[in-house]
Structure 1
Amino acid sequence: MNSYDAVRPSLATALRIGALSWKEYRVVSVGAAALSSILIRAVFQVGFFTLLGQLAAGDGGKEHAFIGAVAFSPVIAVVSRATAVVTGETAQGTMYRLRLGRVPLLAVMLLRSWVYLAEGLVTACLALLLLGPVVLGYRQTLDVAAAFPVLVPTTVGCLCLGMFCCSVVLTGLDEGLTVNLAGYLTLLCSGAVVPVDTEVLRLAGAVLPVGAGLRVLRSAPGGEVHAAVLHEAGVAFLWLLAAGLLLRFHTRRLRTGRTPEPV
């Protein structure tokens, strides 16, 4: 038996989990009504933040808030809906099956959440293409769209932040509090709607997703794309590492009986 033979069953299991997550997504979000509601939420959210920016700072604030809202749009889909995967298992009393499986719990959470990463990117892109010509004009919209791929590592960072939120929820903290706190901190510290003008918020934004990718979008065409991608990748790694350590700590406490499984 070589190393390939040992890896092959795990790889097959991972692919199966990923395929099943797509089937689960289609069951939950089936039909034109569900899909249109997802798109409408994203477009109206971007439009709402754009309006706030215009009311606060005129046309300059409108453009600033629009691009920020597009970059922030995947956060809600990725963080909140990825966390719902864990709360659903906990509510049904099936979390122990995931803990006892041969695939690590963090890997299962990631594999079941990739569809929400795709959803966040697709809805953000559609919001940009639908509202961009009205807010920015066609030429600037195309410039921002050309830089849109930088949001891929940004959204991966949001997914890793969502994994940390899942780990926190498994310790018994309220899901709504955890998700909203992560979302609002990201919104505030990334400068998505209003500029960040304090050192504390800048430091917090440096360890949260969205900020680096957003700066590239705002400076399009141009911007330090490679630096932003590396920054977002580092942020994603840190949150994923924090999620894994917290899961390991909580699992150890469960095994020793020092803390109960949240219900």
Structure 2
Amino acid sequence: MTSLDTAAPRSLPVWRAAEAARTGWLEYRALQTPAGLLGATLPRGVLQILFFTTLAGVLAGPGHREYAFAGSLVLALSGTNVNGVVAVPVLDKQYATFARVRTGALSPTVTQIARALPYPVMGWLLLVVQGAIAAPLLGMTDFALRLLPWAWVYALIALTLSVLGLAGATMTVGRRADVVAPNVLSYLVMLCSGAIVPPGRVGWVDAIGQVLPARHGLDAVRAGMAGRPWLGDLGLEAAAGAGFTVLAALSILVQARRASRHGHDDFE
């Protein structure tokens, strides 16, 4: 047996995962056409940033605009990522393709997560463009440039919000609530992340925010820009994402075993 023969089986799972990610990209392109992204998703995010930043300035004073601008970027991400990634399990439900996913050589968990990868990537790229458009319209170009070195933290938040949406959708796809649940989660992120209203005002809101993605990532950005320690907050954000990844993986595994036991993939 040659070295190539022994290397091929080891690289095969990686190749399969890469093919699943490529399939996810093709699915994303079919659902999110350039016209839809440029004509609806992109301007909607810009308007969200403009609205929440301006509203915060009116209600809390000009000094709160920078706080709200940094937070409104997360609100824009929540719309594109938490809600958008729902398409991954919902397409399998609509087109009855989950049987192929669960009986394939690649585990259904890896397949679903790989297919979801375009959402955090494209959500973050859209966010960079949305922020670049909104900042000069708000007269906040200088602040946006100071925020730019922390854009990689928003990339992490894009990932954690995507796994939150995937977990919500996969846990409820059999209850016909796969669209409602991510919407509820998206609104909880808006309310509990401290994006616009600083933490410490309502106890139960802070408690929910502690376990949801985005809250700790935003804290890390704000702490870093203020010169305070931020690595702890970043670790908590990564932990929140890991927790919801585990939830998504477990729900996919349960669905696959239930479908195998019942002999159908009706998600009932």
Question: TM-score of the superposition, structure 2-length normalised?
Answer: 0.87
Q: Tell me the equivalent position of 1:247.
A: 252
Quote the offset at 1:221 in angstroms: 5.0
Counterparts of 1:126 and 1:150, CA distance in 2 = 16
Q: 1:215 aligns with which of 203, 219, 230?
A: 219
Matched, 1:236 2:260: no
Counterparts of 2:36 and 2:207, CA distance in 1 = 41
Quote the offset at 1:58 in angstroms: 2.8
The AA in structure 2 aligned to 1:214 is: L
Aligned partner of residue 101 in structure 1, secondary structure:
coil
Matched, 1:182 2:185: yes
Checking the alignment, whether the CA contact within 8 Å between 1:121 and 1:152 is kept in structure 2 is yes
Unaligned runs of 5+ in 1: none
Counterparts of 1:137 and 1:51, CA distance in 2 = 11
Seen in structure 2, the aligned counterparts of structure 1 residues 175 and 12 have a Cα distance that, compared at 3 Å, is same
Deviates more, 1:38-47 or 1:210-219: 210-219
Quote the offset at 1:163 in angstroms: 2.0
Q: Deviations over 1:20-39 (max 9, x none)?
A: 32233333333445434221
Aligned partner of residue 170 in structure 2, secondary structure:
helix
Unaligned runs of 5+ in 2: none
Q: Deviations over 1:125-180 (max 9, x none)?
A: 12222222343633222111121211122221112112211312332241232011
Counterparts of 1:135 and 1:216, CA distance in 2 = 24
Q: Tell me the equivalent position of 2:114.
A: 111
Counterparts of 1:33 and 1:259, CA distance in 2 = 35
Checking the alignment, whether the CA contact within 8 Å between 1:83 and 1:163 is kept in structure 2 is yes
Matched, 1:227 2:232: yes
Counterparts of 1:149 and 1:75, CA distance in 2 = 16
Q: 2:69 aligns with which of 66, 70, 74?
A: 66
Quote the offset at 1:40 in angstroms: 0.9
The AA in structure 1 aligned to 2:108 is: L
Quote the offset at 1:3 in angstroms: 7.6
Q: Deviations over 1:223-257 (max 9, x none)?
A: 43322321111111111111222222333333333
Matched, 1:145 2:120: no
Checking the alignment, whether the CA contact within 8 Å between 1:144 and 1:218 is kept in structure 2 is no
Checking the alignment, whether the CA contact within 8 Å between 1:191 and 1:211 is kept in structure 2 is yes
Checking the alignment, whether the CA contact within 8 Å between 2:25 and 2:118 is kept in structure 1 is yes
Q: 1:171 aligns with which of 169, 174, 183?
A: 174
Q: Superposition RMSD on alpha carbons, in Å?
A: 2.5
Counterparts of 1:33 and 1:256, CA distance in 2 = 40
User: Between the two proteins, what is the percent identity of the paired residues?
Assistant: 24
Question: TM-score of the superposition, structure 1-length normalised?
Answer: 0.88
Counterparts of 2:266 and 2:192, CA distance in 1 = 33
Deviates more, 1:131-140 or 1:69-78: 131-140
Checking the alignment, whether the CA contact within 8 Å between 2:219 and 2:230 is kept in structure 1 is no
Counterparts of 2:19 and 2:130, CA distance in 1 = 32
Seen in structure 2, the aligned counterparts of structure 1 residues 15 and 174 have a Cα distance that, compared at 3 Å, is same
Counterparts of 2:179 and 2:251, CA distance in 1 = 19
Q: Deviations over 1:36-95 (max 9, x none)?
A: 422112111222222332343232343332221112322221121111121122111222
Counterparts of 1:129 and 1:65, CA distance in 2 = 15
Matched, 1:203 2:210: no
Matched, 1:15 2:43: no
Aligned partner of residue 222 in structure 1, secondary structure:
coil
Counterparts of 1:258 and 1:223, CA distance in 2 = 56
